[in-house]
Amino acid sequence: MGRRAGDRRDLLHVLHQRRHDGPGPQGRQHRRLRRPDGGADGAVREQPRDRGRAIAIDGFNELGFNCYDSDDSKGHPALRDPMFRQAFNWAMDLQKGVDLCWLGYTVPGTTIIPPDYYSDPDWHWEPPAEVKYTFDPEIAKQKLDEAGYPDSDGDGWREYEGEPIELGLIARVESAESQQLAKLIAGWFKDVGIKVNVEVMDEGALMDLQYEYTGDTFTPNYDMFLWGWYLDFDPGSMLSYFTADQIENWSDCNWTDPEYEELYKQQAVELDPTKRLEYVHRMQEILYEQTPYIVTDYG
């Protein structure tokens, strides 16, 4: 049962206590909180800088998908398919999003650990050119065709099990940038045959949908959302949010992967920084491939 947060201070209190009353580790303390003013955008918007100056990166913004692999999910079932989600990486012009929504004060993103935030070692994994997503709607269309989401009747909209696919996208009242980006995303997805309905709501209402219960059953009730994260002093906390035991807790995309789970356990106890770096890089690679998030920008 997701709690509604009335104002921003209430929202932070809810997040700090835990995101809901359901199962999960009790009493966990997290320094990593969603920014009260709308994600990883707060410092950038409060401290305007000349374009010629370096952008201070301490977090990221993302397009998140409801990946909950259960018939109890109220999200569109196509979103459980990593091939479906992956195709959207090619449909999105992240540089245009940065330029129009952030006025160039952020930079396009790739993985959940930004470059140069950590040092000795730098935990960021940078996708090599041969696997890095770039803006190419034709590739997005090809990937959707290959994944089994055709436009069989030629009306411009792709189908899932014979029915046109319509996805909801939630932007946040607290972030004008998310609202602008949502409009761009709706257009980009339309160009590859996916209809997107944008809805704007406050963060408390969004969390109610992300952590919705029907009786005692977890029934996350959304398709896609735009939000962001700060970084912590160690990458382990951010990486933990994509593990299975964080579903119904700090995970807001409800994604799991067995290889990722094992790597998380290994990196958590690995004392050799070089070996741990290998684990952390592979975890980012898996996230990049599976696409529970599309990291839209760093800032």
pLDDT at 228 (0 to 100): 96
Separation between Cα atoms, residue 206 and residue 185, nearest integer Å = 18
Cβ count near 9 (within 10 Å): 10
> Chain-wide mean pLDDT for the chain?
86
pLDDT tens string 244-253:
999 999 999 9
pLDDT at 2 (0 to 100): 26
Q: Which is nearest to 150 in space by CA: 196, 119, 189, 193?
A: 193
Q: Is-contact 20 249, C-beta < 8 A?
A: yes
User: What one-character-per-residue DSSP string does 34-92 give?
Assistant: --TTTSTTHHHHHS---TTSPPPPSEEEEEEE----STT--S-GGGG-HHHHHHHHHH-
pTM of the model: 0.84
**DSSP 3-state percent helix, strand, coil across the chain (nearest 5):** 35, 15, 50
**Which CA distances in Å does 218 have to 26, 27, 222, 225?**
18, 21, 12, 18
pLDDT at 27 (0 to 100): 28
Tell the CATH topology of 8-22+31-298.
Dipeptide-binding Protein; domain 3 (3.10.105)
pLDDT at 240 (0 to 100): 97
Separation between Cα atoms, residue 231 and residue 61, nearest integer Å = 11
Strand partners, 230: 59
**Which CA distances in Å does 202 have to 7, 170, 171, 183?**
9, 9, 8, 17
Q: Is-contact 47 104, C-beta < 8 A?
A: no
Helix (H, G, I), strand (E, B) or coil at 20: strand
pLDDT at 119 (0 to 100): 87
Sketch the domain layout of the chain as residue ranges: 8-22+31-298
pLDDT tier at 4, thresholds 50, 70, 90: very low
pLDDT tens string 264-282:
999 999 999 999 999 999 9
pLDDT at 57 (0 to 100): 81
pLDDT tens string 47-97:
333 444 456 688 999 999 999 999 999 999 999 999 999 999 999 999 999
